[in-house]
Structure formats: structure tokens, C-alpha cells
Structure 1
Amino acid sequence: MVKKTSAYKKSMDNSLGALDKKILLGFIVIVFGTLILASFGFFYVLSSHLTEVIFISSGLAFIIAIISSMFISRTIVKPLRQLNEATKELEKGNLDVRVKIKTDDEIEELGESFNKMVEALVETKRRQNEIDKAKTDLLSITSHELRSPMTPMKAQLQMTLGGYYGKLNIKQKESLNIALRNANRLDKILVDFLDISRIEASRLKFEYKKVEVKSLVEIIIKEMESFSPSKKIKIVSKIKNITVEGDPERISQVFRNILENAKKFSPEKSMITIDSILKDNFIEFIIQDEGIGIKKSIQDKIFEPFFQGEQTIYRDHNGVGLGLAISKGIVESQGGKIRYESSEGKGTTFFFSFPINPPKTQKNFFKEKV
């Protein structure tokens, strides 16, 4: 890829040399034309035909100017304009763009180098897509196979803790509780792996039903009390009683992912507020915290799968960096939008919306990039 780009730059340098030569040639044509006209005019001035000289000289000068302009436009300006337009299309991600320049000079070579560079980008993109598909398949298969034995393992731990196999002493219960907590954590990670692979493959499933938003959020807030309880962070809901059609499990998943991050990055005894507004045919949720905010240097990366910020001041609830990527996938798969506003040291506010009447087919939020 670097080699192709270097060849393209080298051809561009050569084409600039060709441009200088052609401009010089046009200038020479004009100069010689002017000299001829001057000589012609001098001859006729001596013959006392000043009016005829001015008329004929003006006509010849106009003809020479037209011919020179046509020459420069056909051989220099038009091909360069075509290259400029093709470059703009390539910047937009259009890998079908090509140029057709037939000038038998360095500018034609530049056009050929441009086409070769685009072909190299197409091949790189094809290979990247193959790698992405292999990664998605690996995540899906591995997560499924690893999760299969998790269910009976957790069931056995829960039965043992419940005294099904006999009475346990305090140390035994503590040990089994540790094992069960870590089993649950591992199970959650595997579920995240499965979800991100489904999102990338546009296979995420939704089960739509009528959802009372206020009641749903109250349940989520209750569940979040067990996440970092020692920090004593208060979650306040200002949501009014609104009923929409949606998948309550997926909506809850987005809430939990964002609220977990909010609690993780917020100081003790701070507050998190939840609100909502209706916009056209969408309901937009707003979650605002009083945390440490997001560094500007990483703000364009937080929705990338497996990305983890390093500025956390609390390290007791680390994940694998999939929560926000999954949230973005869930929201955008249903035609909604997710964004945030954040200033370092001043907290973060997340905005995400769902359609009141969701689409029957989901969208893939992973855009192709050049």
C-alpha cells in the first residue's frame, strides 16, 4: 500500500513537470505570435497602413489566444480536473471511481497510477472484509461453545450454595460465592461476544412489544444498586409515563451499559439523572453523570469494539470494552441514534433514541471504511 502511494506521488511530481513544460510551450506560442504581429505591424506602419495593421493584428491575436486556450484546456486543465473530481469521490469512499486520461504524457501516467492505487485499495478492502468475517465467525462459534458448559456449571454452584448437597460452613459458602460471581462475569463476557458478532453480521434479534418506559427504567435503576454499591451514587429518573413499542431486553441492555460506565467513572456520592423527550417519531433518552468526563484524545474511539479508556479512577469493574459498541449496534440497528457530550472533569451526557414504531428489518451500523 505504501509502495502504491509512493508511486502515485512520484507520478504526480512528474506530471507537475509536464504541466510546467506545457505552460511554457503555450507561453512560447503566445510570445512568437506577438513577435510576428509586432514585425507585421512594423512593416505596415512603415507603409502608412496603420488602420489595417491594428485590425489585422487584433484578429490574429484573438485567433492565437483561442488556439492557445484550447490547447492548454485539452492537454492540461481537463485531465487535472478529472483527477481532482476522482480524488474527491475516493475520499467519500467510492472505490468504483476510475479516470480515463489519454494525453500520451506524464499526466496520463499519473491517471494510470491513480487507477492502480484504487485497485490496491479495493484488494485491501476485500482482504479486510474476509478477516472481519473470520473474526466474527470465530467470536460467534467460540462464545457459543464456551457458553454451553457455563449453564450447568452455574446451576451446580447455585444448588451447592442452596444446601442441595448438604450443609456448608461459612468458608465453603464464601468460596462458592466467589466462584459463582466469576462464573456470572464470564457468562456476561461471552454474551457480549455473541452480541457483537451478531451485530456485525446483522443477525441481532429483537422481540417487539408494548413497553411502559417509566416502569422499565425504575426496574433498571433497582438492578443497578448492586453495581458499585459502596460508592453510594444516586440515580434519579425524571421520565414520564410513556408507552412505546420496542424490545424491553435490548432497551434495558443499552441502559445498563451506559449506567455501568456512568457509575464506574463517577466519584462517590455523586448523582446520575435519567430523562427522556419525544422527537418526531422517536423517544430520546438522556443520561447525565457527574464523573471525570472523557478525554478529547479518545472521544472518537469509545464506540469501537474492545476499546477501553485508561483514565478510570475505579478499576474494580473492568469489562472488555464492548458495552458501548453493543449499545451503538442495538440503537442503530433499529434506526435510532446515539451520541454524547463530554468535557474532561465535567461529566458526560449520553443521548440515544429509539423509534416509537421500530422497523421490521434491522440496519447494520458498521459502515464500510476505505
Structure 2
Amino acid sequence: MNREIRNMESRAGLMPEHTIGAAYIGNWKIQLSSNKVSFCPRMRKMLELSKGYDENIETLFGLVKPGQLSGLIHEFKVASFNGTKFEKQVQIVTPSGTEKWVRLTGVLYSRRWGTAEQMIGTIEDVTQKVNEECLSMAIVNHELRAPLTIIKLNTQFLINHLALSINKQPVRLLNMVDQHINGMTKLIDEYLSPSTGEDRSTQLNYSLFDINDLVDTVLGEMRILYPGHRFCKYPTADSILVRGDKYKIIQVLINYLTNAAKFSPPCSHININIDCNENDVEVSVHDEGVGINEENSQALFQKFYQCNQKSIRQKNSKGLGLYIVKSIIQKHGGTVKAENGKDGGAVFSFSLPLNQQNKFNVTSPEAIKLMA
């Protein structure tokens, strides 16, 4: 065990016993050049690793559930490349068969100026916290589903009652309401299900669609919902084909544009840029609001994250929207980003691979190759 790990362990030992018992935090280190890892005794106890288990990346990957491996690798590589904080919550299965949820966090550490040689971090057992969240979500699931069912039944009754009417506009509006009810029900099933886990969303329904047409469609609805704002799209190529779940990307666009409208002054401009290169397409939403704290730009996409600004808290944000956005885009093999605009305001963007289907589930040997 190297000196850095021993120092972190000794600092943890200075914490009060009740604090350590509640949080149960261990420490780890990974050499970026060789992927060699070191675990502190508390981490080994948490993972139920006996002395016979080697401290290597294969051991850690072997405990993580296969469906979450590539997400773990993606977050690690992004943090290593950008020099940002690494944070990921995953489910593991210990050698004895016990299922646990752990949160891994880490920061880059440099021995020489400007060269990061290793990442040092912590691991926390959050199983109890996840179970409590799932119980809360089950209650919210029930409370939302009951009124939605009543609304849907009445909407379908009106659609059938007005089907023979000469004026078709009410039926078209009711069909739109019915589609949004279906979307809300699907969201409840995906993100507020009582089953434990971060990735509650179902399998993506891939199709080939034009991202330009999709943005135009969503902008048309946004202009109706927020007539006090000016939505503009900068001209791009005639057609940009993307392979993905069309309705999931609509959900991402609605989230970005709704946030931009909420946090921008009346009569301000909200611009959408679509930039394309050989490998991917990036869609960015620019507003003229107060901007963001760039130090917390990555935290904005965490589940239940709440901004400390009073003006933001008054918008009744639940801290789930951007988390869902990040989950959707990562499943498509893309990335999300938040930053301040050059002329003020905030810029939220996401990228998608062009006409490619990302396979998100990997095995432990494949994950080791990804780390190379």
C-alpha cells in the first residue's frame, strides 16, 4: 500500500467512529499507465475480498454487474481526459453473492508538474441510501400513476365522442394530449420504478431520423408553450441522419429548451446550433440567462442535484431532468456538456454518433481493453 493511500486511511481513522460506520468509506488508487490498482483494508472488507484476491483491475471489474461496466469506464475516461472529478455509482456482487451499491469518486494526482500519473479516490457503500430512494420512488410512482390514468380515460372518451365532429382541431389537440400522457407514463415506468438501480430505462428503439427535422418539430411546440421567448435555429446542412431512439432525443431537446426558457428573461433569444463532423453531430442550446457555475458543471447532471442559488431553487426543479438527459445520451454513445456562453448565458449541448448504434453492455475482458 503506497504512502498516499496510507495517508488517506490515517485521515479516515481520525473520523469519529459513528461517522465511519454511517458512511463506511474506503480508499483506492489506480496507476493510469498500467491500470494497477491498490485497495485500502476498509475497501477490501467492503468488497469482501480475502487475502487470496489480487489487487488488479480485473478483480474490480469482475464484481461490477456487466450492464454497468461501460458506463463506469466511460466516466473514468472522461474524467482522465478532461482532468475533472470522477464519480460513478454502480452495483456490485461480492464473492459471497451479496449485492451492494457503491459510489466511486476520484481525482487525478500528479507527481510531476502537468503530468497525471494516477487517480486516487474513495469508495462508499450506499446500498441503504439506494434502497430508501427506491422506496420513495415507489410511493411517487403510485401517486402519479393514479391521476394520469383518470386523465387518459377522460381524454380517450373525448376523442371518441368528437370523432365524428366536423371540426377536427379538438381531436388533433386531444390526440397530442394523449401522446404526452403516454410519454409521462413511460417516464414513470423507466425512472420511478421501485426496482433498484440507476439504469431503469428500457432498451432503446433505434431508427434512422434527421436531427434537423426533429429540432424543427420540437421548436414548433416550444414556440407555442413559450410565446414570450424567441427560438432560433442556425442554418445547417439539409439533412443530418442519426441512428437512435427518436423519442428519447425529443425528450432531451425538450428538457434543454424548457430549462433555457425557465432561466432566461422574457423576450430573450434561445438559439440552437447544430454542428456536424465526420464522426458525430453536436446540438447546443444557448440562452441569455444568468449562466452556470462552471465548477459544478458536471454535478448538474447528477441525480437529485439542486443548485444553491435561491433564484434557481424557486423554479421547483427536482434535480432529475439533466440526469435523465445524461443517461439517454450515454446510452446512445454520446456526451453531454454544460458551460457558460462567450457573450453570457449558459450553453447546454449533447453529441451523438452519426448513423451508429452504440452497444452499451460489455463484459469484464472487453472493459479491460477499453481502459487501454
TM superposition score normalised by structure 2: 0.54
Contact kept? 1:338, 1:353, Cα under 8 Å:
yes
Once the 2 structures are TM-superposed, how far is the Cα of residue 265 of structure 1 from its aligned partner? Answer: 1.0
Contact kept? 1:143, 1:190, Cα under 8 Å:
no
How far does the alpha carbon of each residue in 1:60-115 deviate from its partner, in whole angstroms, 9 at most, with x for none?
xxxxxxxxxxxxxxxxxxxxxxxxxx9743999x99625xxxxxxxxxxxxxxxx4
Instruction: Considering fraction of residues, name the structure with more helix.
Output: 1
| Equivalent residue, structure 2, for 1:299 | 297
Distance 2:308 2:353 in 1: 34
| Equivalent residue, structure 2, for 1:281 | 279
Once the 2 structures are TM-superposed, how far is the Cα of residue 352 of structure 1 from its aligned partner? Answer: 0.9
Q: Which stretch shifts more, 259-268 or 270-279?
A: 270-279
User: Tell me, what secondary structure is at the counterpart of 2:125?
Assistant: helix
Residue 134, structure 1, aligned to residue 75, structure 2? no
| Equivalent residue, structure 2, for 1:219 | 217
Residue 119, structure 1, aligned to residue 44, structure 2? yes
How far does the alpha carbon of each residue in 1:105-161 deviate from its partner, in whole angstroms, 9 at most, with x for none?
xxxxxxxxxx43443564796573533652564466445544543343103554788
Distance 2:358 2:12 in 1: 48
Once the 2 structures are TM-superposed, how far is the Cα of residue 293 of structure 1 from its aligned partner? Answer: 0.2
How far does the alpha carbon of each residue in 1:1-60 deviate from its partner, in whole angstroms, 9 at most, with x for none?
xx96457679xxxxxxxxxxxxxxxxxxxxxxxxxxxxxxxxxxxxxxxxxxxxxxxxxx
Q: List aligned pairs for 1:160-179, cutoff 5 A.
A: none
Residue 205, structure 1, aligned to residue 203, structure 2? yes
| Equivalent residue, structure 2, for 1:232 | 229
Give the RMSD, CA atoms, in angstroms. Answer: 4.4
How far does the alpha carbon of each residue in 1:204-263 deviate from its partner, in whole angstroms, 9 at most, with x for none?
32111121222111110011124343x333333434322222211011111111111111
User: Tell me, what secondary structure is at the counterpart of 1:221?
Assistant: helix
Distance 2:304 2:149 in 1: 28
Of 142, 146, 151, the residue aligned with 1:149 is 146
| Equivalent residue, structure 1, for 2:370 | none
Once the 2 structures are TM-superposed, how far is the Cα of residue 338 of structure 1 from its aligned partner? Answer: 0.9
Q: List aligned pairs for 1:51-130, cutoff 5 A.
A: 88-89=29-30, 97=38, 115-119=40-44, 122=47, 128-130=125-127
Gaps in structure 1 of 5+ consecutive residues: 11-85, 99-114, 165-180, 365-370
| Equivalent residue, structure 2, for 1:321 | 319
Once the 2 structures are TM-superposed, how far is the Cα of residue 337 of structure 1 from its aligned partner? Answer: 0.8
Deviation >6 Å, runs of 4+? 159-164, 196-199
Once the 2 structures are TM-superposed, how far is the Cα of residue 333 of structure 1 from its aligned partner? Answer: 1.5
User: Tell me, what secondary structure is at the counterpart of 1:339?
Assistant: strand
Distance 1:316 1:280 in 2: 42
Once the 2 structures are TM-superposed, how far is the Cα of residue 353 of structure 1 from its aligned partner? Answer: 0.8
Of 183, 190, 194, the residue aligned with 2:190 is 194
Contact kept? 1:233, 1:268, Cα under 8 Å:
no
Structure 1 residue identity aligned to 2:203 = K
Structure 2 residue identity aligned to 1:235 = C
Quick one: structure 1 residues 284 and 8, their matched pair in 2 at CA, closer, same or farther if it must change by over 3 Å?
same
Quick one: structure 1 residues 321 and 245, their matched pair in 2 at CA, closer, same or farther if it must change by over 3 Å?
same
Once the 2 structures are TM-superposed, how far is the Cα of residue 200 of structure 1 from its aligned partner? Answer: 1.4
Count of matched residue pairs? 252
| Equivalent residue, structure 2, for 1:346 | 344
Structure 2 residue identity aligned to 1:245 = R
Distance 2:11 2:359 in 1: 44
Distance 1:252 1:131 in 2: 34
Contact kept? 1:275, 1:285, Cα under 8 Å:
yes
Contact kept? 1:333, 1:363, Cα under 8 Å:
no
Quick one: structure 1 residues 117 and 163, their matched pair in 2 at CA, closer, same or farther if it must change by over 3 Å?
closer
Contact kept? 1:238, 1:274, Cα under 8 Å:
no
Structure 1 residue identity aligned to 2:131 = A
Gaps in structure 2 of 5+ consecutive residues: 1-7, 16-26, 49-99, 103-123, 162-176, 363-372
Quick one: structure 1 residues 125 and 154, their matched pair in 2 at CA, closer, same or farther if it must change by over 3 Å?
closer
User: Tell me, what secondary structure is at the counterpart of 2:38?
Assistant: coil
Contact kept? 1:210, 1:243, Cα under 8 Å:
yes
Distance 1:158 1:346 in 2: 43
Q: Which stretch shifts more, 116-125 or 278-287?
A: 116-125
Identity of aligned residues (%): 24
Report which of the two structures shows the higher radius of gyration computed on alpha carbons: 1
User: Tell me, what secondary structure is at the counterpart of 1:340?
Assistant: strand
Once the 2 structures are TM-superposed, how far is the Cα of residue 335 of structure 1 from its aligned partner? Answer: 1.2
Quick one: structure 1 residues 297 and 7, their matched pair in 2 at CA, closer, same or farther if it must change by over 3 Å?
closer
How far does the alpha carbon of each residue in 1:154-187 deviate from its partner, in whole angstroms, 9 at most, with x for none?
03554788897xxxxxxxxxxxxxxxx9xx89x9
